Amino acid sequence: MIRVVVSTAVIDLAAELAALERDGAVASFTGLVRGDDGVATLELEHYPGATEAALGQLAEAASARWSLTAATIVHRVGPMAPGERIVFVGTCAPHRGAALEACAFLIDRLKTDAPFWKRETVNGAARWVEARDSDDVAATRWE
């Protein structure tokens, strides 16, 4: 089972984890909006349809590579405050190694492969967030 959601709704971790529990091992990653550098808000924009398709392709690739029994990607869009959940990635596999590796793959690759645009507000001024070189480096380890 693959589930991809892009939404403005708050991410319910308990519900997402419970939906993944099938057999063996469940691994997950939850990302929070950082408040470093004085960030007051973070707003994510996306291209509906294309974003879900890109995330679905990543989940399909992970499922095939690690024989997952389930994979979930939930990503928020819209305005968010520091400390709010921005992304949840969860995987389920018969063995923990596969679940953990697939989860790491998904979060590393979605940082570079998913079409999101981020805008931060700092001291009342908005600025677009550039891609980080460290994200590109993390994604290349899976090639």
Tell me the domains of the chain and their CATH numbers: 2-140 (3.90.1170.40)
For 91-139, what is each residue's pLDDT tens digit? 999 999 999 999 999 999 998 888 999 999 898 889 998 878 787 777 7
Instruction: Please list the residues that pair with 72 across neighbouring strands.
Output: 3, 90
For 24-81, what is each residue's pLDDT tens digit? 999 999 999 988 888 899 999 999 999 999 999 999 999 999 999 999 999 999 999 9
For 108-119, what is each residue's pLDDT tens digit? 999 888 899 999
Q: Is the pTM of this model over 0.85?
A: yes
- Band (pLDDT 50/70/90 cuts) for residue 8 is very high
